[in-house]
């Protein structure tokens, strides 16, 4: 979507249809980049805050001609220095802007520019030697920009390998940064900077939304997302509460890390619920499924399906350090790998007129309690 937006902006700009907006667009980076720094800091996305600050500094210096002839004279060094910074940013973590790490970051920025200056100096200083020993293919132009191509390749692989919004933003930054130097006529600087600031702001806000509404361990929607959905529920719906049986004993037997692995796998089965059910991690080893527009009897088949899929699922343990087994879990050996299985109990209740969501949920919790009492591994209404 971001790419489509950029392409459309570029198209419009070339068509001259946006020329009336030119004055506004030229001012936008002055507003959007500082706003981006403030938002990124607020949500602890220091890499994007640094990048926005870097772009703002470049934009202010360029548009006000503060760098004078330095900018043209050292254009390649600035291009390469910026490229090194972005590549490095694709591999580090967000650590806050005003923390001891910021000193390391500042040093890294200086080192990036020093490396860019050093590389280009080496190429000029030893040009005759390099021309003599390297194949013709690696002429001075290729040699000069070789680290740039390498960095773009590395960041592209990184963004594909560890696909997240921040890495994608860094890759787009690098692409626009490079285009700005190699083909400046393609896109006015103010448009690139406006696009980048918008991408950063969108990235920070979307990332933070997912952080607030997704459970980190299982990837399921969180309890906060559940109460958000409740606001849009009509009068007819059912609430199911699901709880892993004897999970405390499972943890005691196999350790907390294995418990986490199992929680993830159980969550993936619960997420696959059919019948329009929406799954949430309520907390700990408890999950909730909401069936909008369904009474409890029509959810039973779908819940039974989920219960069976978990019961039949042989979970292969990755952890070799295992203690003795307990009654709580059934384990068997598959070749050398150890497999275990867990069961879940489910209680379901449908919303009744005049009832709040919390009251319906309480009744589904009581149904869950009955399922546990009756021997677990079953669904109760």
Ligand X SMILES: Nc1nc2c(ncn2[C@@H]2O[C@H](COP(=O)(O)OP(=O)(O)OP(=O)(O)O)[C@@H](O)[C@H]2O)c(=O)[nH]1
Judged by CB under 6 A, which of 198, 207, 372, 377 binds ligand X? 372
Tokens representing 269 are 């089965």
Judged by CB under 6 A, which of 86, 155, 245, 303 binds ligand X? 245
DSSP, res 317: P
Q: Could you tell me which stretch among 116-124, 150-158, 192-200, 240-248 binds ligand X (CB under 6 A)?
A: 240-248
CB 313: neighbour CB atoms within 10 A?
17
Q: 76 an active-site residue? A: no
Q: Could you tell me which stretch among 193-201, 256-264, 306-314, 354-362 binds ligand X (CB under 6 A)?
A: 256-264
Q: Can you tell me the distance from the alpha carbon of 9 to that of 176, in angstroms, rounded to the nearest whole number?
A: 13
From the CB of 270, what's the least distance to ligand X, in Å? 14
Q: Can you tell me the distance from the alpha carbon of 83 to that of 152, in angstroms, rounded to the nearest whole number?
A: 8
* Of 119 and 247, CB closest to ligand X: 247
248 binds ligand X (CB under 6 A): yes
From the CB of 112, what's the least distance to ligand X, in Å? 40
* Of 93 and 256, CB closest to ligand X: 256
How are the residues of the chain apportioned to helix, strand and coil, as percentages rounded to the nearest 5? Answer: 65, 10, 25
Residue 151 and residue 86 in contact, taking contact as beta carbons nearer than 8 Å = yes
Hey, which residues between 88 and 147 contact ligand X (CB under 6 A)? none
From the CB of 217, what's the least distance to ligand X, in Å? 6
Strand partners, 327: none
285 binds ligand X (CB under 6 A): yes
Environment class of residue 244 by beta-carbon count within 10 Å: exposed (0-12), middle (13-18) or buried (19+)?
buried
Residue 295 and residue 232 in contact, taking contact as beta carbons nearer than 8 Å = no
Question: What does DSSP say about strands 286-292 and 278-283: parallel, antiparallel, or unpaired?
Answer: antiparallel
Q: Is 66 helix (H, G, I), strand (E, B) or coil?
A: coil
Residue showing tokens 């509404």: 213
* Of 37 and 241, CB closest to ligand X: 241
Judged by CB under 6 A, which of 183, 256, 321, 336 binds ligand X? 256
* Of 169 and 251, CB closest to ligand X: 251
Q: Which of 136, 285, 320, 355 is catalytic?
A: 285
From the CB of 162, what's the least distance to ligand X, in Å? 24
Residue 375 CB partners (closer than 8 Å, separation 6+): none
From the CB of 369, what's the least distance to ligand X, in Å? 9
Judged by CB under 6 A, which of 260, 301, 308, 319 binds ligand X? 260
From the CB of 56, what's the least distance to ligand X, in Å? 41
272 binds ligand X (CB under 6 A): no
Q: Which of 249, 253, 259 is nearest to 322 (CA)?
A: 253
Q: Could you tell me which stretch among 176-184, 224-232, 246-254, 354-362 binds ligand X (CB under 6 A)?
A: 246-254
Residue 200 and residue 51 in contact, taking contact as beta carbons nearer than 8 Å = yes
215 binds ligand X (CB under 6 A): no
Residue 274 CB partners (closer than 8 Å, separation 6+): 302, 305
Residue 48 CB partners (closer than 8 Å, separation 6+): 36, 40, 166, 169, 200, 203, 204
Q: Can you tell me the distance from the alpha carbon of 346 to that of 359, in angstroms, rounded to the nearest whole number?
A: 17
251 binds ligand X (CB under 6 A): yes
Tokens representing 77 are 């060094």
How many CA atoms does the CB half-sphere of 119 hold within 13 Å? 23
Judged by CB under 6 A, which of 33, 199, 225, 263 binds ligand X? 263
From the CB of 260, what's the least distance to ligand X, in Å? 5
Judged by CB under 6 A, which of 247, 254, 282, 291 binds ligand X? 247
Q: Can you tell me the distance from the alpha carbon of 118 to that of 13, in angstroms, rounded to the nearest whole number?
A: 38
Query: Which residue, judged by CB position, is nearest to ligand X in the bound state?
Result: 259
Residues that contact ligand X, how many (by CB under 6 A) = 17
* Of 261 and 339, CB closest to ligand X: 261
* Of 12 and 261, CB closest to ligand X: 261
364 binds ligand X (CB under 6 A): no
Active site residues: 285
The binding site for ligand X (CB under 6 A) comprises 217, 243-249, 251, 256, 259-260, 263, 284-285, 372, 376
């Amino acid at each position: 979507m971001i790419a489509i937006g950029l392409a459309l902006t570029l198209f419009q700009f070339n068509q001259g249809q946006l020329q009336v907006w030119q004055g506004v667009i030229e001012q936008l980076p002055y507003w959007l980049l500082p706003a981006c720094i403030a938002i990124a800091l607020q949500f602890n996305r220091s890499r994007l805050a640094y990048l926005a600050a870097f772009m703002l500094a470049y934009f202010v210096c360029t548009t006000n001609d503060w760098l004078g002839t330095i900018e043209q004279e050292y254009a390649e060094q600035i291009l390469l220095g910026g490229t090194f910074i972005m590549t490095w940013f694709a591999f580090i973590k967000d650590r806050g802007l005003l923390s001891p790490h910021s000193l390391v970051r500042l040093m890294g920025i200086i080192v990036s520019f020093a490396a860019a200056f050093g590389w280009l100096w080496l190429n000029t200083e030893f040009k005759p030697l390099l021309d003599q020993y390297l194949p013709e293919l690696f002429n001075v132009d290729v040699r000069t920009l070789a680290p740039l191509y390498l960095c773009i390749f590395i960041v592209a692989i990184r963004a594909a390998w560890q696909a997240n919004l921040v890495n994608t933003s860094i890759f787009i930054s690098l692409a626009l940064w490079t285009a700005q130097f190699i083909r400046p006529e393609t896109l006015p600087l103010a448009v690139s900077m406006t696009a980048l600031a918008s991408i950063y702001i969108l990235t920070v806000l979307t990332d933070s939304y997912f952080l607030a509404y997704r459970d980190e361990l299982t990837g399921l929607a969180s309890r906060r997302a559940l109460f958000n959905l409740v606001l849009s529920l009509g009068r007819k719906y059912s609430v199911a509460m699901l709880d892993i049986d004897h999970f405390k004993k499972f943890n005691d037997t196999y350790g907390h890390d294995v418990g986490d692995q199992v929680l993830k796998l159980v969550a993936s089965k619960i997420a696959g619920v059919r019948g329009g059910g929406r799954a949430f991690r309520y907390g700990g080893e408890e999950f909730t499924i909401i069936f909008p527009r369904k009474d409890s009897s029509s959810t039973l088949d779908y819940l039974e399906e989920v219960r069976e899929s978990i019961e039949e699922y042989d979970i292969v343990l990755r952890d070799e350090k295992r203690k003795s087994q307990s009654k709580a879990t059934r384990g068997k050996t598959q070749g050398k790998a150890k497999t275990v299985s867990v069961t879940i109990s489910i209680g379901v209740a449908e919303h009744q007129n005049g009832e709040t969501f919390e009251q319906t949920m309480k009744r589904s919790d009581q149904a869950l309690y009955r399922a546990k009492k009756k021997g677990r591994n079953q669904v109760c209404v």
